[in-house]
Chain A
Amino acid sequence: MVVKLGVPSKGRLMEKTFEWFSERGVMLSRAGSEREYSGAVEGIEGVELVLLSASEIPRELAAGRIHMGVTGSDLVRDKLASWDSKVIEMAPMGFGHADLIIAVPKAWVDVDTLDDLDAAAAAFRARHGFRLRIATKYHHLIREFLKQNGVADYQLVDSQGATEGTVKNLTAEAIADITSTGETLRANHLKILSGDPVHCSQATLFKSRMAHWTDDTRATLVTLKDMLGLGD
């Protein structure tokens, strides 16, 4: 039995993850050609690299098909119900920082806070006959956040990409999305609501609570945690 480690299969997130592990003596690399999704691990025995789309890693961890995995903390929280019963956060990795935020048109001079958003939503629903629409792909996180803060009279509309454009295209009145610099938001005449972000995300190493652990894999995990400098 080997410890299966899920890592994003492409882009900056993959490179940064490889870097993070290599700084700690664990060399991860893609095997074969650019297009082949298999990898190699050096520096430790008994660990297998599984290259996956970052958005599939939460599901694979929850299903126990991988023992450990690297993905954004936002994805784990949004995609897994009761996420902390299924995975354990082993280490925040210090890159891939992004904030999940709610943004509204900059022209809304009367709206800066959740309080304002709630009041605007009430008046909007009364006037337009439907709930104020917030475009997002982070349904679970946003719904929980707005519920906790007692915001009413809104609805979430699904947007899997180009979310910043939905307000201009009249398919939403506000948006909730991940941003790191806020550049795209500004370019689309949107502003972020004041107060703490809904979630501050970063690349995180997770351990699955659902995976099958044997004496062998447990021993490998101890060695690996030691190399990564993660105490118990």
Chain B
Amino acid sequence: MARVEITKAAIKAEAARLKAFFEAEGALPVEMDILLPAEVLLDLYGEDIRARAYMTQDPERGEMMLRPDFTVPVVQEHMSNGAEPARYTYAGEVFRKQEDMPTRANEYFQVGYEVFDGSDPAAADAEVFANFANVLSDSGLRAATGDIGILKAAVAGLKTTERRRAALLRHIWRPRRFRALMTRFSEAGTTLRLQNLERVRANLAQPEAPFIGLRTQTEIDTRIKALEEDAAEPPISAGEIELLDDILSLKETLPHVLSQLRDITVDLPAISDAVSLLSRRTDALAKRGVDVDSLDFEASYGRTSMEYYDGFVFGFYAEGRPDLPPVATGGRYDALTAVLGQGRSIPAVGGVIRPNVLLSLKGGA
């Protein structure tokens, strides 16, 4: 296949076409700054974003970042000036270092559609997905969906300590550590938990080292107490661990997943609200003409793509082109608005399309 060079003008025109589609669906077009204050983004995303974003320094404003995505500025704009319900669309460049995949563009367009409407979350989720499916319908893409909310509800419903639930919830977006924590809190981890405590006791028996740094004695004492309490705590039952495993491994078409989740609900009633939301979303998707019977659903989908996606998640992929990034991705990010709003949370769902990827498929077809 000859490599078709796609001009920036063509990408801009495609971005404008996609944005016009979302405007016709009732979204308000918004413009965002390209240079953003780095502090908020760094605090939100940590080192992951520092590795990916271009940083620069302003003598007045301090550390600045070339816009790595639109989500944060759009949420901030909405929180300070917007009225609910609101639908926004935007198109513009984002900038990302591609250390691990140097052949991918480090400057590319994104076209987005974001919905801030808490009246009916299932309907809002379906609206966003259906709009993306419609505008992408002639590109023959494979859609993937998931729902982080199911896993969150399952963890929140575990019959164990608040501290363990919090530790697991904190690592939902880091599957490897999540798995390690599951093991540590299970029967298999009992020895490990005791060993951890013994290790600390052995350290305590050593001659005292001088205290340096900001972390205080109180913080150390609090952690030791937590380790002591945790070692004395019974493990999370084998049954509950198995149910978590069942949920994590769910990967089928949507109707099959729903029926399996209803079975799991019998043993894990805590997920029933999340499952009924999934069920209402499925109905809402069907009502919007989405072929839900053949729609793929994967319970673990989206766990590594963006921290703060905490409900419905989706992506559109070019079949047989693993070299390309997804054409579109999105999801619900109520948790992000809660962090940005410092307690004030706004139900939010949306996604972005990469017009350059879309065009490269059309050129290659």
Contacts and interface: CB of A to CB of B under 8 A. Distances in A.
Interface of A: 81-82, 85, 105-110, 112, 115-116, 118-120, 122-124, 127-128, 130-132, 140, 143, 146-156, 167-168, 170, 172-173, 188-189
Interface in B201-255: 203-204, 206, 208-215, 219-220, 222-224, 227
Given A112-B203, A152-B171, A189 B210 contact: yes
B176 A149 contact: yes
Q: Which 9 A-B pairs have the closest CB atoms?
A: A150-B177, A106-B209, A109-B203, A150-B174, A81-B99, A110-B223, A167-B213, A107-B209, A168-B212
Nearest to B213: A167
A101 to B, nearest CB: 17
Contacts of B206: 109
A110 B46 contact: no
A155 B46 contact: yes
Nearest to B202: A109
B180 A115 contact: yes
A216 B210 CA distance: 62
Given A120-B219, A155-B50, 17 more contacts: A81-B100, A105-B209, A105-B215, A107-B220, A110-B220, A110-B224, A112-B203, A131-B43, A131-B46, A146-B47, A149-B177, A150-B171, A150-B174, A150-B177, A155-B47, A168-B213, A172-B213
Nearest to A80: B99
Contacts of A146: 47
Contacts of B177: 118, 149-152
B215 A108 contact: yes
A110 to B, nearest CB: 4
Contact of A107 (B51, B200, B212): B212
B159 interface: no
A152 B174 contact: yes
Q: Tell me whether chain B's interface is mostly helix, strand or loop, or mixed.
A: helix
Interface of B: 42-43, 46-48, 50-51, 99-100, 102, 167, 170-171, 174, 176-178, 180, 184, 196, 199-200, 203-204, 206, 208-215, 219-220, 222-224, 227
Contacts of A124: 215, 219
Given A122-B170, A150-B171, A156-B47, A109 B220 contact: yes
Contact of B200 (A109, A115, A131): A109
B215 A173 contact: yes
Contact of A127 (B170, B176, B211, B219): B219
Nearest to B166: A122
Given A107-B212, A173-B214, A82 B42 contact: no
B227 to A, nearest CB: 7
Contacts of A85: 102
Nearest to A151: B177
B324 to A, nearest CB: 18
Contacts of B180: 115, 150
A167 B214 CA distance: 8
A105 B220 CA distance: 11
A149 B223 CA distance: 20
Contacts of A127: 219
B125 to A, nearest CB: 27
22 contacts: A106-B209, A107-B209, A108-B220, A110-B224, A112-B199, A115-B196, A119-B223, A120-B215, A120-B223, A123-B219, A143-B47, A149-B176, A149-B177, A152-B171, A155-B42, A155-B46, A156-B50, A168-B213, A170-B214, A173-B213, A173-B215, A188-B212
Contacts of A116: 196
Contact of A110 (B50, B208, B213, B227): B227
Contact of A143 (B42, B51, B167): B51
A128 B170 contact: no
A20 B223 CA distance: 50
A55 B269 CA distance: 58
Contacts of A170: 213-214
A135 B14 CA distance: 45
B215 A82 contact: no
Nearest to B221: A110
Given A81-B99, A123-B219, A152 B224 contact: no
Contacts of B203: 109-110, 112
Contacts of B51: 140, 143
Nearest to A170: B214
A192 B290 CA distance: 55
A170 B215 CA distance: 10
A164 B274 CA distance: 49
B128 to A, nearest CB: 28
A86 to B, nearest CB: 10
A105 B213 contact: yes
A120 B178 CA distance: 16
Given A118-B177, A120-B215, A173-B215, A107 B171 contact: no
A182 to B, nearest CB: 14
A107 B180 CA distance: 26
A81 B174 contact: no
A28 to B, nearest CB: 34
